[in-house]
Amino acid sequence: MVKIGIRPTIDGREKGIRESLEEQTMRMAKSAAKLISENVYDEEGNPVGCVIADTTIGGFAEAAKCQEKFDREGVCATLTVTPCWCYGSETMDMDPKTPKAIWGLNATERPGAVYLAAVLAAHAQKGIPAFSIYGHDVQDADDDAITDDVAEKILRFARAAVAVGEMKGKSYLSVGNVAMGIAGSMVNPDFFEEYLGMRCEYKDMSEIIRRVENEIYDKEEFERALVWTRENCKENDDLYNGENGHSREKKDAEWEYCVKMAMIVRDMMQGNEKLKEIGWNEEGNGNNAIAAGFQGQRQWTDFMPNGDFMESMLCSSFDWNGIRKPLVVATENDCLNGVAMLLGHLVTNTAAVFSDVRTYWSPEAVKRVTGKELTGYAQNGIIHLINSGAAALDASGEQEKDGKPAMKPFWEITEGEAQKCLDATKWTPGNLGYFRGGGFSSTFKTRGGMPVTMCRMNLVKGLGPVLQIAEGYTVELPDDMNKILWDRTDPGWPCTWFAPVLTGEGAFTDVYSVMANWGANHGASVYGHVGADLITLASMLRIPVNMHNVSEEKLFRPAAWNAFGTQDRESADYRACRNYGPLYK
């Protein structure tokens, strides 16, 4: 379980000053811990634990004892809190590998703000970035309330820090290699190790065949999964192949293989104690993978069932075992989009959706083709997010919050909502032109009105990783308009219409500009407008953001970023990330 350490720092002068501040300082620490534990959850749905130092920290010795405790507890980030002046470099957190923030109380009775400024200067001078948390309005010294603006920053820091902690020490499992020359599937271990604290594991796709042929899977679970799949995954008409489609007997065999693929790739990621019980100890250990990718095309799909069912079901928040944590599995082994999926998933705890950023439809083009005009969120044009049936079924939008379409953390999803997602999805036999080995693609239309954030990680030679972010809304078109546009691309794949929020400037001048500035053919989408959380997370990892539509007042990066320029925040972000370098290098 990831934990955040709370460091209550204090003025070390005894015989009156320190004693008068002890109770208030520890109250601040406990209030911050309560706020985090009640509002931030880890990937498994557990409230994030907070570890508070045993004593207030007035100098080197107590700082060292606090660090020893945090090391034992496995703390992934620290929040220092104080209402007063403290000795900056003597009380600061000096661990360069953990994200850190400092909350200095804005109250006039004691100079907490003065300590905040002094210790941030020490952090900058020593090359250890820290986030600054300072309330907008002056509070009374005995006011224990955490103001809304302070709470927002504490929680944004905590969500991003927990994501950093959850990735550290985990792996990306590459099943196969490069799909059809897609650069994103050229898995670069230096990027994962230096920026994310992860390692890369590589397995040939033949491992799936070996496990099927040697029956290295839970047979009881397979029988149960197959019955569930037949009852809940309704096969669509063969939209592509006509008389040349596979026989009923062959399709039934493909269904069985697709279910086994889903179980096997999950086991390869996480391990499975059942495999150990039947004598496959090594396979039962898994690969400690927090994310994975499957090459598929073409060396697999030219003769085997495609990975669409496996990818869709693993990325969804439910399967034959019930409602559970969604996994992150990238289509075509696009590990860079897999990382974008992972970052989005970790800050939202919702399923991440893989798609092609396929087509920009201008209002003029839509009217020419359909005879109708786009309205509402879609009035300025839309982007078609669609790929070969490998999207999480959560993206159907059949879950709800306050009566509106949503994608929710798995612990909030009801059985009825999971069933609605399944009922809204059909499984179309694969286009044998693309997928000679058959298989089945999920087919659904995303409900409109959901706030979503699309993001993408790119690697640029000489620069390194950069993150792109676009907040927007899903759009639901009238059925006749939807059919005309959907059919022009691929009627058997999941269909999401996306309308980015426009700023009128730069990459968000208009919808065409968003499409034109996107860095690759894939994107990852999660529920909610969480661009600000992703920007905070990227700064922790020292990854610059080259495109976003998040308002200036929501940007929250380490205080030292200000030293690299305050007029052009995007350029300053680049300079700061280059200066500090990857978090784990």
- For residue 279, with 0-12 CB atoms within 10 Å meaning exposed, 13-18 middle and 19 or more buried, which class applies? exposed
- Closest residue by Cα to residue 47 from 90, 2, 83, 12: 2
Q: At what angle do helices 335-348 and 148-167 cross, to 10 degrees?
A: 140
> Is the distance from CB of 214 to CB of 309 less than 8 angstroms?
no
* Residue ranges, CATH 3.40.50.1070, the chain: 3-167
Torsion of CA 545, 551, 554, 557, to 10 degrees: 30
- Closest residue by Cα to residue 331 from 182, 204, 431: 182
Q: Provide the 3-class DSSP secondary structure of residue 420.
A: helix
Q: What count of other Cβ atoms lies within 10 Å of the Cβ of residue 475?
A: 23
Angle at 438 between CA 437 and CA 440, to 5 degrees: 145
The pLDDT assigned to 407 comes to 98
- Closest residue by Cα to residue 529 from 475, 469, 453: 453
Binding residues for Mn(2+): 332, 356, 522
The pLDDT assigned to 41 comes to 97
55-64, 139-148, 215-224, 570-579: range with lowest mean pLDDT: 139-148
Fold of 171-580: L-fucose Isomerase; Chain A, domain 3 (3.20.14)
| CA atoms of 298 and 432, how far apart (whole Å) | 12
Q: What is the pLDDT of residues 228-260, one digit of tens each?
A: 999 999 999 999 999 899 999 999 999 999 999
The pLDDT assigned to 191 comes to 98
| CA atoms of 210 and 216, how far apart (whole Å) | 8
The pLDDT assigned to 144 comes to 74
Q: What is the 3-state secondary structure (H, E, C) of 225-238?
A: HHHHHHHHCEECCC
| CA atoms of 10 and 26, how far apart (whole Å) | 10
Structure tokens, 124: 């900058």
Is residue 39 very low, low, confident or very high in pLDDT (cuts 50, 70, 90)? very high
Structure tokens, 515: 């499409």
Query: Alpha carbon 414 to chain centroid distance?
Result: 22
> Residue 473: is its pLDDT beyond 80?
yes
The pLDDT assigned to 531 comes to 98
| CA atoms of 484 and 370, how far apart (whole Å) | 7
Q: What is the pLDDT of residues 351-392, one digit of tens each?
A: 999 999 999 999 999 999 999 999 999 999 999 999 988 999
The pLDDT assigned to 166 comes to 98
| CA atoms of 532 and 155, how far apart (whole Å) | 12
The DSSP code sequence of 340-402 is: HHHHHHHHH-S--EEEEEEEEE-HHHHHHHHS----GGGGG-EEEE--SS-S-GGGG--EEET
- Closest residue by Cα to residue 245 from 428, 432, 426: 432
Angle at 577 between CA 572 and CA 581, to 5 degrees: 155
Q: What count of other Cβ atoms lies within 10 Å of the Cβ of residue 274?
A: 15
> Is the distance from CB of 449 to CB of 260 less than 8 angstroms?
no
Q: How far apart are the first and last CA of the chain?
A: 24
The whole-number average pLDDT for the span 521-526 is: 98
> Residue 143: is its pLDDT beyond 80?
no
> Residue 201: is its pLDDT beyond 90?
yes
Q: What is the pLDDT of residues 156-177, one digit of tens each?
A: 999 999 999 999 999 999 999 9
| CA atoms of 185 and 194, how far apart (whole Å) | 18
The whole-number average pLDDT for the span 534-544 is: 98
DSSP state of 57: B
- Closest residue by Cα to residue 146 from 161, 138, 135: 135
> Is the distance from CB of 398 to CB of 351 less than 8 angstroms?
no
| CA atoms of 108 and 46, how far apart (whole Å) | 38
> Is the distance from CB of 356 to CB of 205 less than 8 angstroms?
no
> Residue 554: is its pLDDT beyond 80?
yes
Q: What pTM was estimated for this model as a whole? A: 0.97
- Catalytic center residues: 332, 356
- For residue 255, with 0-12 CB atoms within 10 Å meaning exposed, 13-18 middle and 19 or more buried, which class applies? buried
| CA atoms of 192 and 173, how far apart (whole Å) | 11
Mean pLDDT, rounded, of the chain: 96
Binding residues: 332, 356, 522
Is residue 455 very low, low, confident or very high in pLDDT (cuts 50, 70, 90)? very high
* Residue ranges, CATH 3.20.14.10, the chain: 171-580
| CA atoms of 189 and 200, how far apart (whole Å) | 6
Paired residues of 526 in beta bridges: 453
Q: Span 3-167: which CATH code?
A: 3.40.50.1070
Is residue 109 very low, low, confident or very high in pLDDT (cuts 50, 70, 90)? low
Is residue 111 very low, low, confident or very high in pLDDT (cuts 50, 70, 90)? confident
- For residue 449, with 0-12 CB atoms within 10 Å meaning exposed, 13-18 middle and 19 or more buried, which class applies? middle
Q: Provide the 3-class DSSP secondary structure of residue 539.
A: helix
